[in-house]
Chains A and B, each alone.
Chain A
């Protein structure tokens, strides 16, 4: 038997909890009565507002334009009117300006005309990607046109599509692969053309064997040059570093990018968005989000306009079946908990979780059990870093590679002393940077 690949160092095996929503087909959300579209939908500088209070906007119209090298355009998901521009707080606690848009009664039909992509040259495709405001949909929301611009002198061996969805509960990517398989594959080929990649690889964990079979069947039937690799289930395999180790068996050194080892990584949702941007000329104004967790009455995978308030998503799912302890935007390992149900979803919102109370566990001092060290996929010593940070020795922590911590949560997840290790790392980074 062939060994199923995965990354070798660290990692944890939380229960995948995907059963709540995995069988639910993607449903479109009925038009909300109001959208809150922030200008900071992506990693990098916020977009500049192109519209003012009282302006009418069309579906797909650009309403915010990229304001720096790492930034992305923002588009209106609806035909409607801008009621006002005001400050909002996003789930990740970022404060920024947002358009408040009231949708019209009548909406334009969804775009259906298709455009040929194979005949276009890479630079035209790249310009279109930028114009459509595509960002990474896995959660990091890195602007896609920046990622796909390969500096001269660099070349790409592998374009690796991330179909891992290693965060428990989330099933949005799973549904996209099942329901939009062909679009994902075409999107992958479009991306590969832009960056001139030699190979296209899709990595999918073995708990989604139906996706592996489905995509393989399409690729085979249509003769697409795409390799689909099944990976052993382990968190955080969806992280670029772990995914590349698992699929092409190369490690990205500290401070380097995937490109430095000849790879570019994009999420399946992003590949699907690339397809829509190029083939349908559709800008990124809606996405699939999993609304799930023990406390959601009817968990669903919802295609919702960017800017939808979490309360609208919850209402569409029948509200809470029991009182949640936490609302989380994103996955349970790296997502952000928030309390305001009027928080809007953004381009990076892969999930909305309502989690039940966990049994309260008492904190104890670190008992030096080594679980965090064994679990850290980066090879750090979380217990030691945490000690430096709580002692205020930020420089010492930085010397021990604190900055390489990617806040994946493995260390906190396993710690029997229930120490808030990740919280410590975040604080330490902030204060350590300031000191420098």
Chain B
């Protein structure tokens, strides 16, 4: 008799394809184009930064896994955390800093809370913010990408467009919009961007930030390639539009409406697009704020979360002195997430408006 050995288990007996590991690896894949651009634009040293970030995260995960007897190394989440730490580092950073950030991310932000799924805040962001406040100077020294380095004045070599405009406004240059401030400060634009600018009317600066011809962290500069990754994740249904759209949209709108105020230009004088292309916003909105574990579980909650991130980012960017607007905003909203999930719950089937009315009438 050749009896098959049958499994008896609870329904359902079929399952959708996705699993945790495939999702984590897909997010890493989605981040690849923007990361590769960073390596090209800032040179091979960035690859080294990425390498030690990932290694730091994975080694930490391995050690903790050994200690707790679980093997979680290949679920992809530690790799992703390491990669996210890496892309959030300036290309010139001393190598021990990303290692510290990765180790902090995995040891403190992830495992002291109980490991994957139990952490309150996004580990990579926590790691980045931790090293930012510990090593502020190296964490805010940037390098220009090779595409504009040759045409830029030396003095600008470590400025980002955001920091440049901020300093200009702080030193009392009022009445100028972003474009004018950058032009005055001599921030370079590629010939290609100037060409597009004269064709379309978008400022050359917008075009360059969109493409990735600006200074910044390794993986954050090319809004275009980050969007490519984001769209890939949307198509693969790894993320939904709720967080990124509300986050980007609210920053864009608030910047457009109120962004002119620091320069005393009045309302509706800010700019929509450059504000969502610049800094770490695109990276944050697509890859950090969408982290499942630390964002709300319901779609409605995610919309609130996205709007909250957008509001704080705008606030910190324009009225605070904090250049880390995106990271800190997301961390703040991470902390609010359990509360959102407590109060924002889906409507239950059958709990219609008519039925509620009916119940009320019956009570009377």
Contact = CB atoms under 8 A, between A and B. Distances in A.
Nearest to B237: A371
Interface in B70-112: 72, 75
B116 A413 contact: no
A405 to B, nearest CB: 11
A412 B15 contact: yes
Interface string A140-173: 0000000000000000000000000000100000
Contacts of A185: none
Given A252-B350, A416-B19, A365 B292 contact: no
A256 B355 CA distance: 11
A336 B13 CA distance: 9
A401 B349 CA distance: 11
Contacts of B22: 416
Given A325-B6, A366-B117, A251 B355 contact: yes
A378 B117 contact: no
Interface string A235-263: 00000010001000001111010000000
B16 A339 contact: no
Given A379-B346, A423-B10, A253 B351 contact: yes
B19 A241 contact: no
B20 A416 contact: yes
Contact of B13 (A337, A376, A414): A337
Contacts, number: 164
Contacts of A324: 4, 6
A379 B351 contact: yes
A358 B14 contact: yes
A373 interface: yes
B297 A367 contact: no
Interface in A338-365: 338-339, 353, 355, 358, 361-362, 364-365
A328 interface: yes
B19 A379 contact: no
Contact of A361 (B11, B12, B19, B302): B19
Interface hub of A253, A334, A404, A412 (most chain B Cβ within 10 A)? A253
B8 interface: yes
B8 A338 contact: yes
B134 interface: no
Interface hub of A256, A369, A378, A407 (most chain B Cβ within 10 A)? A369
A14 B16 contact: yes
A422 B11 contact: yes
B18 interface: yes
Interface of B: 4, 6-16, 18-23, 72, 75, 115-118, 292-299, 302, 341, 345-352, 355
Interface hub of B6, B118, B295 (most chain A Cβ within 10 A)? B6
Contacts of A335: 11, 13
Interface residues of A, number: 62
B12 A364 contact: no
A191 to B, nearest CB: 24
A332 B355 contact: no
A368 interface: yes
A402 B349 CA distance: 13
A381 interface: yes
Nearest to B24: A367
Contacts of B295: 368
Q: Which 10 A-B pairs have the closest CB atoms?
A: A409-B12, A423-B10, A365-B117, A253-B350, A379-B348, A364-B20, A339-B6, A369-B292, A379-B346, A370-B297
A9 interface: yes
B352 A251 contact: yes
16 contacts: A254-B350, A328-B13, A353-B13, A362-B21, A364-B75, A365-B117, A369-B297, A370-B302, A378-B349, A379-B347, A379-B349, A380-B348, A412-B15, A416-B18, A417-B117, A426-B10
A320 interface: yes
A14 B14 contact: yes
Contacts of B9: 326, 337, 420, 423
Contacts of A401: 348
A374 interface: yes
A261 to B, nearest CB: 9
A273 interface: no
A301 B7 CA distance: 24
B207 to A, nearest CB: 36
A168 B72 CA distance: 33
A63 interface: no
Nearest to B117: A365
B148 to A, nearest CB: 39
Contacts of A332: 11-14
A418 interface: yes
Contact of A404 (B13, B345, B348): B348
A370 B16 CA distance: 15
A336 B351 contact: no
A81 interface: no
Given A380-B348, A401-B348, A416-B19, A365 B12 contact: no
Interface hub of B9, B12, B345, B352 (most chain A Cβ within 10 A)? B12
A43 interface: no
Nearest to A378: B349
Nearest to B242: A370
B350 A364 contact: no
Contact of A251 (B21, B345, B349): B349
A381 B297 contact: yes
A334 B19 contact: no
Given A253-B355, A364-B116, A413 B298 contact: no
B13 to A, nearest CB: 4
Contacts of B12: 332-334, 409, 412-413, 422
A187 B46 CA distance: 73
